[in-house]
Every structure is written in C-alpha cells, then in structure tokens.
Amino acid sequence: MPSYATPDTHVTGVTSGSIEPVAKRLEILTELLPHVKCVALIGGGAADSSRAAFKVARDTAPELDLTVIEFTVGSNEDAVQVAKTLTPTEVDALFLIPSLHTVGVAGEVAAAARAPRLPFAVYQVEHVQQHGALLSYGSSYFL
C-alpha cells in the first residue's frame, strides 16, 4: 500500500462495531433480569475482534456483580453444541460474542437456549426479530 492517505485499491479504517457494545449489552441484561449472576459467553477465539469482545465482557462482569464462563469455539457446529449443553443449574443466561462462528448459527443457538428457558442476548436486532432472542444491542449491518 503506498500510504494510508492514498490507499490505492486497499481498504483501511474498517471496524465492525461489535466490541464496544458488549459492556452495554451485559448491563441491559442485568437490568432486565436482576437475578442473572452467571453468564455463558459463546464466541470464536481466532479473530482479534472476538478476543477483544471476550475481554470487554470479562472486564465488565465484576462491575455488574456477574460471573462469566467463556466458551471459545472453533466452528459453527461447536457454538450450537455448547449452547445445547448449557442448563439453568450452570448458568443464568447465554450471551453470544460476535464472531464468524456465531453469526451464522444465531437461530440454532436461540433454539438451544429456549429449550431450557435460558435468556439469550445477541448483538444484532435481526436475531431478536428472526430467532426470538431476549435482547439485542449493537450495530445493524442490514439497515
């Protein structure tokens, strides 16, 4: 690339907007459901943005009197399988971390969360509308 000022055919300065809202999403979850004390986080771990989102959740949890249990997955199938194994005796809610391994299976994860009646927080409003998640707070890529 010649320079950031004249990137030629390269793209620079791209952001997904998925990291910053993680703290607010956890806060909204605890405001809606004050009994929630333990949250399962499911997300991919390969991308820097996913690791950063996990870190934001970890750093925010003590401020909200939450315990978070992280499940780093390597595929869409892993994300669904983890969601299917969670029970209300282990966690109070399920929280999807934005990643390549979660965006395509939000509907399946939502169905897995509904079976044991686990509240499910996601990062796109479309997941609430289309899949029945409890709440969403974040960017909409489809507006």
Q: Where are the domains of the chain?
A: 21-136
Q: What's the maximum distance between 2 C-alpha atoms anywhere in the chain?
A: 56
Rounded Cα distance between 85 and 112, Å, is 8
Hey, is 135 helix, strand or coil? strand
**Cα dihedral value 24, 28, 31, 32, nearest 10:** -170
Q: How far apart are CA 83 and CA 103, in angstroms?
A: 14
Per-residue pLDDT of 9-31, as tens digits, reads 666 665 555 677 889 989 999 99
Q: What is the pLDDT of residues 30-66, one digit of tens each?
A: 999 999 999 999 998 778 888 999 999 999 999 999 9
- List the beta bridge partners of residue 43: 72
Q: Which CATH architecture has domain 21-136?
A: 3-Layer(aba) Sandwich (3.40)
